Chains A and B, each alone.
Chain A
Amino acid sequence: DAKTTQPTSMDCAEGRAANLPCNHSTISGNEYVYWYRQIHSQGPQYIIHGLKNNETNEMASLIITEDRKSSTLILPHATLRDTAVYYCIVRVLDSGDMRFGAGTRLTVKP
């Protein structure tokens, strides 16, 4: 069973913030929220992860709700190169195997 739910696709205007939601209502207390993206015909790229606090790095920000049942990945100023499939995954910290859902196909438009 899928542990996360994401919209199938989203569009975003270049230069605007892209907000990608993810529902993970059955997340366990020791599970983190991870985000990856996959640009066409490449391996997935790690973006960010968090447990319960909001996180920010050079790529994105991760906002996790207080009940931890959902999160939002924010790309503050989307560029055309951010067009990709974005995957939200919940798992125990640093556990190796990951189960990918369908992800959200983000298209950044000029």
Chain B
Amino acid sequence: GAVVSQHPSWVICKSGTSVKIECRSLDFQATTMFWYRQFPKQSLMLMATSNEGSKATYEQGVEKDKFLINHASLTLSTLTVTSAHPEDSSFYICSARGYTFGSGTRLTVV
């Protein structure tokens, strides 16, 4: 079946630094990928839709300059959290095809 590989699984970074999260479709091509964020004890919230070869579409309230999305190939989408702050600490999850999810990345900003 379709598999999405997400990494890293967890990352700790210092305030002000940037962190890149990768999401790869392993056995299929994904022209579109979706990025979600999940705070503790809350549900998943869609952040943005990543489109191969074009600009990402961000949900209302999500800063596009802070959460940089790149989808340069049909198998790779990346989310870069720029100038991270402690309030960006969260569980980030990618998805492709609408039903295949990555395993998630737990970001902790200290």
Contact = CB atoms under 8 A, between A and B. Distances in A.
A57 to B, nearest CB: 12
B99 A34 contact: yes
Interface size class of B (residues with CB under 8 A): 20 to 34
B43 A103 contact: yes
Say what secondary structure dominates the interface of chain B.
strand
Contact of A41 (B46, B49, B104): B104
Interface stretch (A13-21, A23-31, A42-50): A42-50
Interface residues of A, number: 22
Interface stretch (B12-20, B66-74, B89-97): B89-97
Chain A CB within 10 Å, residue with most, of B44, B93, B101:
B44
A100 B99 contact: no
Interface of A: 34, 36, 38, 41-46, 49, 87, 91, 94-103
Interface of B: 6, 32, 34, 36, 43-46, 49, 91, 93, 95-104, 106
Q: Which 10 A-B pairs have the closest CB atoms?
A: A43-B101, A96-B98, A100-B44, A46-B99, A100-B43, A43-B104, A44-B101, A43-B103, A43-B93, A96-B32
